[in-house]
């Protein structure tokens, strides 16, 4: 295992992490379920690549434009479906993901189904880590703000939040747009890491994989999503021979998590040093108590 290989896994994990953070806001904190996040990643990836290859823009501005275009598309989908109850949003994102892939398959200017090679390799471990940290800081602050609390309220009880005066549609929309920006930027970084883009990379499987990571990490926990993204991206690398059965196990595990521990790994809790200290001290405290009881 040389450093180059490990670095590659870390970069992929970091890119996945960014997309998962966005999805975590949407699914974990706002309670909306998307099947089309790979579609937003595809939009971000192709837009960023167009900006940097065809228009020769620097990397960071192209990433930003990629994220913005993904957000614009999400605006369209959200406007149509988010004010409807039921599964319209879910089905629309499912259709959107597939439609984007099919459109890209047929655009010969961008390589079509054969793919688009020769994208400059600009993603390094350093800028992935920096963007990830910025993403985490923004998300943590958003969740702690009034807006984040409104989103959590919508997840918990939509009707009640509407009654106390939260604009449900607006907050769902904001949540969807932010998560699309995260997915778009992640897609842009993926393209500039691999140096090659192909519509096939953004199939539904990719969307479900992102959702699985959010669920494993725990709905409504950012540290859970971080942990989930790092573990679930690097685990398959270690279990190469097991590759075929990986998704079989994921499928069973998702059902099992839902029926036994729907809060996932972190269960709505966040990792903090304060909490670790409390857990450790409570362990000691309990031991002391037991000692006292024995006397």
Partner 1 sequence: MAGFMQQIINGLSIGSVYALMAVGYSLVYSIMNFSNFAHGGVIMIGAYIGFFLLAAYKMPFYVAFALAGAGAGLLALIIERVAYSPLRKRKAPFLYFIISAMGASIFLENIVIATIGPTFKTYPKVFSTQPITVGSLSVGRLDLIMFVISAISLAILIFVIEKTKIGMAIRGTAYSVRASALMGVNTDHVIMIVFGLGGLLGGIAGMLFGMKYTVYPQIGFITIKSFIAAVFGGLGSLPGAVIGSVLLGIIETLTSGYLSSQFRDLIAFALLIVVLIVRPMGLMGKFTEDKA
Binding string, 151-170, against partner 1, x = CB under 8 A?
------------------x-
Nearest distance in Å: CB 195, partner 1: 27
Binding status of residue 294 toward partner 1 by CB under 8 A:
no
Binding status of residue 130 toward partner 1 by CB under 8 A:
no
> Which residue, 2, 18, 6, is CA-closest to 189?
18
Among 197, 212, 226, 229, binds partner 1 (CB under 8 A): 212
Query: Residue 196's beta-bridge partner residues?
Result: 117
Binding status of residue 55 toward partner 1 by CB under 8 A:
no
User: Measured between alpha carbons, how far is residue 4 from residues 7, 18, 111, 167, 238 in Å?
Assistant: 5, 21, 29, 48, 15
Nearest distance in Å: CB 246, partner 1: 8
Let me know: does 161 contact 47? Beta carbons within 8 Å: no
Among 208, 223, 236, 268, binds partner 1 (CB under 8 A): 208
Nearest distance in Å: CB 27, partner 1: 8
**Rounded distance, CA 68 to CA 178, Å?**
9
Nearest distance in Å: CB 287, partner 1: 35
Among 31, 111, 148, 191, binds partner 1 (CB under 8 A): 31
Q: Which two tokens stand for residue 117?
A: 């090679």
Binding status of residue 133 toward partner 1 by CB under 8 A:
no
Task: Extract long-range pairs of 78-86: CB within 8 Å, 24+ residues apart.
Answer: 78/172, 78/173, 78/176, 78/177, 79/173, 82/32, 82/169, 82/172, 82/173, 82/176, 83/169
The stretch among 95-103, 223-231, 268-276, 279-287 that binds partner 1 (CB under 8 A) is 95-103
Nearest distance in Å: CB 125, partner 1: 31
**Rounded distance, CA 229 to CA 212, Å?**
10
Let me know: does 172 contact 33? Beta carbons within 8 Å: no
Binding status of residue 87 toward partner 1 by CB under 8 A:
yes
**Rounded distance, CA 145 to CA 68, Å?**
23
Nearest distance in Å: CB 234, partner 1: 20
Chain residues that interact with partner 1, rule: CB under 8 A: 27, 31, 33, 35, 80-81, 83-88, 90-92, 94-96, 98-99, 102-103, 105-106, 169, 204, 208, 211-212, 215, 219, 244-248, 250-255, 258-259, 262
């Amino acid at each position: 295992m040389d450093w180059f290989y490990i670095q590659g896994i870390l970069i992929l994990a970091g890119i996945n992490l960014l997309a998962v953070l966005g999805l975590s806001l949407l699914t974990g904190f706002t309670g909306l379920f998307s099947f089309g996040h790979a579609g937003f990643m595809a939009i971000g990836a192709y837009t960023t690549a167009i900006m940097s290859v065809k228009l020769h823009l620097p990397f960071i501005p192209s990433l930003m434009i990629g994220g913005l275009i993904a957000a614009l598309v999400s605006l369209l989908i959200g406007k149509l479906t988010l004010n409807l109850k039921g599964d319209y949003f879910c089905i629309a994102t499912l259709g959107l993901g597939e439609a984007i892939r099919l459109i890209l398959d047929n655009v010969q200017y961008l390589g079509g189904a054969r793919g688009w090679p020769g994208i400059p390799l600009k993603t390094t471990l350093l800028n992935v880590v920096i963007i990830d940290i910025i993403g985490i800081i923004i998300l943590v602050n958003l969740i702690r703000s009034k807006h984040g609390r409104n989103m959590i309220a919508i997840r918990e009880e939509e009707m009640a939040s509407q009654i106390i005066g939260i604009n449900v549609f607006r907050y769902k929309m904001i949540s969807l747009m932010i998560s699309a920006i995260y997915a778009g930027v992640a897609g842009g970084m993926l393209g500039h890491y691999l140096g090659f883009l192909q519509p096939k990379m953004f199939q539904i499987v990719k969307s479900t994989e992102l959702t699985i990571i959010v669920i494993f990490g725990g709905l409504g926990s950012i540290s859970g999503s971080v942990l989930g993204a790092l573990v679930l991206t690097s685990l398959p690398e270690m279990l190469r021979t097991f590759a075929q059965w990986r998704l079989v196990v994921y499928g069973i595990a998702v059902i099992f998590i839902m029926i036994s521990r729907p809060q996932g790994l972190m269960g709505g809790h966040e990792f903090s040093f304060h909490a670790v200290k409390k857990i450790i001290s409570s362990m000691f405290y309990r031991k002391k108590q037991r000692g006292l009881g024995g006397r």
